Amino acid sequence: MYFLTKISIFTIISSVLIACGGSSNSPTSVVPPPVKAAPPIQAKRSINGLHFYYQDTFYQGQAASIAVTSDTSDLVNIEWQQISGSPLTILATHTQVIGFDIKQSGDYQIEFHGTNSQGQTINEIFSFSALVSSNNRTNIRLDHAVSEQAAVSFRALANPNKTMQSIRWEQLDGPTIDDLQSQDEDVFFTAPQVIKDEIVQIEAQITYTDGSSETDNSLLVVKNVQVNTNGYFPRYAEKVVTTDVYPFIQEGPHANNLRACVYNNQVAKSCEFSLLPLIGQEHSTPTIQHILERLVVSHDWMGLRFKQYLEQSSTSEDMLKLLRATTAIVISYDVRPSFYWTATGAIYLDAANFWMTPEERDTLNTQPDYRSDFGDDLQFFIPWRYVKDNDYYFRNSDYPAHLRLSKTFSDLEANISWLMYHELAHANDFFPPNSWSNMPEDISPLDYSNQNDASSVLFEQTFGLTSDTMKSVAKVSFAGETANTEQKNLSAQDIVSHFEPDSAPAYYSYSTVREDYATLFERFMMSYRLDVSADVAVISNINNDNLIVSWGQRDRFNESKVQPRVQNVVQNILPNLDVRTIQQNLPTPILMRENQDWFVNLQLGNVPPTPRNKQGEKTLRPVSPKDYWHTYRHGPKGP
């Protein structure tokens, strides 16, 4: 997943969307037309051009919020702090909306600090009493603030004591939303354009199988922000990004340039290395502190989880080395999916990979990938998964949102490591270790990469993939091209005859040589450092609800015909590793059992599966074959 070619800025970026199907009692979702002329919600308190909003009554067991808007739309230096009451988990203390769960009844006080456009500091204390739990246990997660034109999502969690039958979403007030859409418990839309900060209120009404219904309302602050239409993100990524990101270490040596150069709606020029050098230009052996000084986040918890990962993961030594090829690391709730971009020299990580508590998960955007139907006209699909001890290494379905589970660190490590190896392979492809000492300071990452071939260019000349058929269908699956008649007629067995003899570790390798390069490195490092295997299979997409495997293989990256390709990539990125010796000690590839279920093929060889204790995991099955493959999305396309 990267941005940029020699001539144009573009990307193919990816995230793992692993979903499991529900039963025949899955809830239906209804979205009526948006409200066209609703009265604006009234502020509960106003002072010095600031307006505060919150519910009339607070209840134990429900999600609550306090929101603030500014007439001049330039409220800064925001800080919320609880000063009394049973502890609340407030994770967005620097934004214009705080959302939190009230777990105990009683009295509470929360203090607000902020500065308006006249430089006045406003301090307000909010006192409220939470009443004993009401019968209404439906909760929308989570009230928050967004930039105008940004992607928005909310999730409604049903009363845990009842069975949901259907859910209806509706806009109650605020500027009109034109694209309200839902998928089961989630609703998605684009924040409307505004000329000043505005409040939008959304309602979820859940009907239960006992005939009862419950509702909950959400508060969304839509912020009036300055957008440069020629800026990198509005123009090439076609998105308005949040203005609530900040350097994790706000007094770090590069804090100001991080704000200006890597993630905002204004930057329209690649910053020179004199302003924001690669980490490797400054530190040949960076410490965790050096890395954290280049970290930009939208919530403190994201920085704390990244720090925890670097401190505790067995991959830490690798990551500190690999991160030298970047200028910055951005982790934000609205980065979806993760990517690397040579225009800024930074990696951008989807925060969905970093949450550990349900409260952290509540702060994430769950907007789906609208390109996920790429390849639907093809007769096959090619899923992959990571496996350890004959069981899934990690999958999101182990943590259903409604169960409010906390993630283990081992699963956090599993969720992050493959992603980091992949994105950082892209960074080291464009900026390999032997280049850092020779980079002039008066050149930008974009200019440097336009003037110098990436390592994968030379790699392709010697180790390029050979199947034109696979490359052509990859354009349908990953670039959204329309399948022609010949491609539509290719069966799963046809694809096996093209894929198996070639030397790609995964279908995605055929999308671009950049992705081939990064996937080879990722697969090798996951096996070498974490003892994790990778499966790939070809499965028919025709009347195959049981996901019967036509052909499949575990640890294909260590196949003899693939090994030289791996050696070249890994030696370019981590030259100190003795790759050939390591390969001799890595697992020998194993073929899957043909004409058997993808899930049955989880257990290969003589290694017994590790017992699992995740609630309900064994009963889950995918809604469709697409649910078990890597879903990819395109990003910026440049001049």
Sign of the CA dihedral with 391 first, then 397, 401, and 402 last: negative
What are the residue boundaries of the structural domains of the chain, listed by start? 28-208, 371-404+439-628
Give residue for tokens 């050098």: 277
Q: Tell me the C-alpha distance between 36 and 54, whole Å.
A: 23
Given a contact cutoff of 8 angstroms between Cβ atoms, the answer to whether 149 and 190 are in contact is yes
* Eight-state DSSP code of residue 325: G
Question: Tens digit of pLDDT for each residue in 410-443?
Answer: 999 999 999 999 999 999 999 999 999 889 999 9
HSE-CB at 144 with a 13 A cutoff on CA atoms is 28
* Strand-pair category, 121-131 with 58-59: parallel
- Cβ neighbors of 114 (< 8 A, separation 6 or more) are 50, 68, 75, 76, 77, 78, 79, 121, 122
Report the pLDDT value the prediction gives residue 624, as an integer from 0 to 100.
38
Interval 255-277: pLDDT, tens: 999 999 999 999 999 999 999 99
Q: How far apart are CA 217 and CA 145, in angstroms?
A: 15
CB 18 within 8 A of CB 396: yes
Report pLDDT for 612: 46
Q: Give the pLDDT confidence score for residue 634 in this predicted structure.
A: 31
Between CA 303 and CA 312, with CA 307 as vertex, the angle to 5 degrees is 150
Q: Report the candidate in 311, 258, 340, 322 with the shortest Cα–Cα distance to residue 285.
A: 322
**What radius of gyration do the chain's Cα atoms show?**
25
- The stretches in the chain having pLDDT less than 70 are 1-40, 369-372, 607-639
417 in helix, strand or coil? helix
Q: What's the per-residue H, E or C state across 121-173?
A: EEEEEEEEEEECCCCCCCEEECCEEEECCCEEEEEEECCCCCCEEEEEEEEEE
Q: Residues 292, 321: contact at Cβ < 8 Å?
A: no
- Grouping H, G, I as helix, E, B as strand and the rest as coil, residue 534 is strand
The answer, as to whether pTM is greater than 0.85, is: yes
Q: At the top level of CATH, which class does the domain 28-208 belong to? A: mainly beta
Burial grade of 380 (CB within 10 A; 0-12, 13-18, 19 or more): buried
**Do residues 341 and 348 touch, judged by C-beta distance below 8 A?**
yes
